[in-house]
Amino acid sequence: MGTQNQTWTTEFILLGLSSDWGTQASLFALFLVMYLVTIMGNFLIVLLIRLDSHLHTPMYFFLTNLSLVDISYATSVVPQLLVHFLAEHKIIPYLNCAVQLFFSLALGGIEFVLLAVMAYDRYVAVCDPLQYSAIMHWGLCTRLAITSWVSGSINSIMQTAITFQLPMCTNKFIDHISCELLAVVRLACVDTSSNEVAIMVSSIVLLMTPFCLVILSYMQIISTILNIRSSEGRKKAFHTCASHLTVVALCYGMAIFTYIQPHSSPSVLQEKLISLFYAILTPMLNPMIYSLRNKEVKGAWQKLLGQFLG
């Protein structure tokens, strides 16, 4: 291929979910409501934890980080998606596309690592409760949170850099709802085997490794719970993990089900649905799960509302 065709494009066109105007208008209304619920729900969780001193514990410190990640993740994808639902020409500038890819990759990686950190916190709480305060001191919690943010960000910097150094030739149509990694790599007019290897390594480091740590933590947790003699004690121990386990099942479950399959990589439609799941549905459900399944959070809500109404 001649070098004259290996040029840098200045903008991309996102094909999105549908070209039908009526469908786009309906999706705009639906996703706008979901986005507002996501932002409000996660913001209220952060505010509640900030205001209630009983929630100033490692578990809720990590939950605050998770809520901030969810707000940021949704904001990195959904506003642009909403604008494109109403736009005739769904153009995204080259630089904007790179920035969007960086943030979505970084925040996705941060969330996977953060969930593994939260699993370790629950492991210590259930398996070694007498030493919990000594082990999960604020210095360790801060380092674990920083590790989550730094690891996801470093991976994203590397992936974004090697992706956007690829020549895109005349290709500028991205068959996706956003500048997703695989969708952008497919535009390249050169061999992308090195990018595919980098994506595989990244998936192992930031998806499978944290997932294995979560599995190991919960194997120990379940073993400890089963050895508790009283049914009340087992129930109480399980409730300390129920919310986190539900979120883990949602986040890791979709990724494992989609990517760890005996057949080929996910289809374009699957990739779009996965992006919507992580950008809209999961961030919206997380605060609901922690509010509905967690007695401490429900108690804090009741206390806050009582103070406000009283």
Answer whether 291's CB lies under 8 Å from 301's CB. yes
**Type of residue numbered 164:** F
Measured between alpha carbons, how far is 292 from 235 in angstroms, rounded to an integer? Answer: 16
**Type of residue numbered 213:** L
Sheet containing 91-93, strands listed edge to edge, beginning at the edge strand earlier in sequence: 91-93, 11-14, 173-174
Report domain extents, the chain: 3-309
> Which residues are 89's β-sheet partners?
none
CATH of domain 3-309: 1.20.1070.10
Answer whether 151's CB lies under 8 Å from 202's CB. no
Does residue 2 or residue 69 have the better pLDDT?
69
How confident is the model over 41-69, as a mean pLDDT? 91
> Which residues are 14's β-sheet partners?
174
Answer whether 227's CB lies under 8 Å from 176's CB. no
Q: Are strands 173-174 and 11-14 parallel, antiparallel or unpaired?
A: parallel
pLDDT confidence of 159, banded at 50, 70, 90?
very high
For 148-169, letters b (16+ CB in 10 Å) and e give bbebbbebbeebbeebbebbbb
Answer whether 145's CB lies under 8 Å from 61's CB. yes
Residue 218 CB partners (closer than 8 Å, separation 6+): 119, 123, 241, 245
Measured between alpha carbons, how far is 124 from 113 in angstroms, rounded to an integer? Answer: 17
Measured between alpha carbons, how far is 211 from 81 in angstroms, rounded to an integer? Answer: 30
The region of weakest confidence among 54-58, 63-67, 167-171, 219-223 is 167-171
Q: What percent of the chain has pLDDT over 70?
A: 89
How confident is the model over 112-123, as a mean pLDDT? 94
- Pick the most confident of 146-160, 201-215, 254-268: 146-160
How confident is the model over 50-59, as a mean pLDDT? 87
